[in-house]
Structure 1
Amino acid sequence: MKASLRIAAISFVVMLLGACAGTQEMTSTGAPASEPQAQPELTSDQLYIAYVERIAKRRGIHLTWVNPPKTLEKK
């Protein structure tokens, strides 16, 4: 009887902790942006950076590029 009471109490606490973890507020991001369109002045790396930043913004993550990707110049 004591074992089942302990299991029930532990299960209840775990469910409460799980519920608290799921109630985080997202930062206001506005409407999701459309996919970046390939433009002549944008390189593939700039499109990749825009894609990653858009996903991070949607998830409420502040992103700082330390070493942003760069295109190797063809000679």
Structure 2
Amino acid sequence: MNRPLLCTIVSLSMLGLAACASPHGGAGYGAAPAGSQPAQAFERDMAYIAYVERTARMRGLDVRWVNPPLKRVARSDDSEAQ
């Protein structure tokens, strides 16, 4: 067997095995129990947004947020009831 063909076969075999080992199916990952939800929520990181927009304005650019940056915050007991 010539060398390029052997390299191609070995490479394709390795790619096939890597695809089978990927966790995209979610196997092995169970849902967290209902009582173990962390007391965290997400809100917009307004300090970072202001910094980026201020810097962009100084450079004459316009910023449009598609996915604005978020930060984790502790959830209060009031927000858990909603």
Bigger strand share: 2
TM-score, structure 2 as length reference: 0.35
Structure number with larger C-alpha Rg: 2
